[in-house]
Amino acid sequence: NPRIGVLALQGDVREHELALHDGGADVVKVRRPSELDDVDGLVIPGGESTAIDKLARAFGMMDPLRAKIAQGFPVYGSCAGMILLADRVADPARDGLGQPQQTFGGIDMTVRRNAFGRQVDSFETEVPMPVLSRISGQSSAGDADAVRAVFIRAPWVESIGEGVEILASVPEPHHEGPGSDAGVARIVAVRSGNLLATSFHPEVTGERRIHRLFIDMIRGEA
């Protein structure tokens, strides 16, 4: 079995551990740089990207993980984890000294934090994701290649560079007031080489195929 770490600094670590375990991986928590060398891949959970960034720097994880990502280390980021895999954040949070939040980066994309959150803090919808038709296991949605996806103060991907594959988009939900772009397609899942990112949380709806896709990527089978 592949051995997969979950970055356990902050966020919904337990849910990802369960999803990876169900997908057939051996799972360990990762907090220290040396632990990165004992795993075949890493999941960055949902939570708060600024908190994970600060703790990663405090634990000396920022540079070692950046270096591993540059060497092709497989990483899946969900929600806050997606933000942390982005090369650019459109509207970064700033600390007390005015310094913008940092990311591990690796995916040539710009993400917007809390993008859906301006209108709807949290919502659930069915997201078509054709790549999943190849992955075995039960769908959390009615449709065989759709995911029942939960968005919680979720980012979207505002732009991508070459080499980044769009795996899923959703129409921006309707909302009242100015600035509404209801119906505009927003990118919510991407893959770039060995890096995978989703705006939403498959780990909370019993969906396991996205974690299986990541495990297949690690095995070199996807």
* Residues taking part in catalysis: 79, 201, 203
- Candidates 10, 49, 140, 169; binder of ligand GLN (CB under 6 A) is 49
115 is a contact residue toward ligand GLN (CB under 6 A): no
Query: 35 labelled as ligand-binding?
Result: no
Can you state the angle between helices 62-70 and 49-58, rounded to 10 degrees? 100
Q: Which of residues 75-94 bind ligand GLN (CB under 6 A)?
A: 79-80, 83
Cβ–Cβ under 8 Å, residues 147 and 168: yes
Nearest approach in angstroms of CB 66 to ligand GLN is: 18
The H-or-E segment that residue 198 falls in is: strand 195-198
SS3 of 118-131 = HCCCEEEEEEECHH
Nearest approach in angstroms of CB 132 to ligand GLN is: 21
- The closest of 5, 3, 115, 4 to 49, measured between CA atoms, is 115
Nearest approach in angstroms of CB 109 to ligand GLN is: 15
Between the CA of residue 73 and those of 22, 91, 181, 205, 217, what are the distances in Å? 22, 27, 36, 27, 11
Cβ–Cβ under 8 Å, residues 182 and 120: no
186 is a contact residue toward ligand GLN (CB under 6 A): no
- Supply φ then ψ for residue 35, to 5 degrees: -70, -20
Cβ–Cβ under 8 Å, residues 88 and 67: no
Nearest approach in angstroms of CB 219 to ligand GLN is: 27
CA–CA gap between residue 140 and residue 146 (Å, rounded): 8
Query: 160 labelled as ligand-binding?
Result: no
199 is a contact residue toward ligand GLN (CB under 6 A): no
Query: 48 labelled as ligand-binding?
Result: yes
Angle at 125 between CA 120 and CA 131, to 5 degrees: 130
153 is a contact residue toward ligand GLN (CB under 6 A): yes
8 is a contact residue toward ligand GLN (CB under 6 A): no
152 is a contact residue toward ligand GLN (CB under 6 A): yes
Query: 32 labelled as ligand-binding?
Result: no
80/168 with CB nearer ligand GLN? 80
Binding-site positions read 47-49, 113, 152-153
Site residues for ligand GLN per CB under 6 A: 46-49, 79-80, 83, 113-114, 152-153
List the binding residues for L-glutamine: 47-49, 113, 152-153
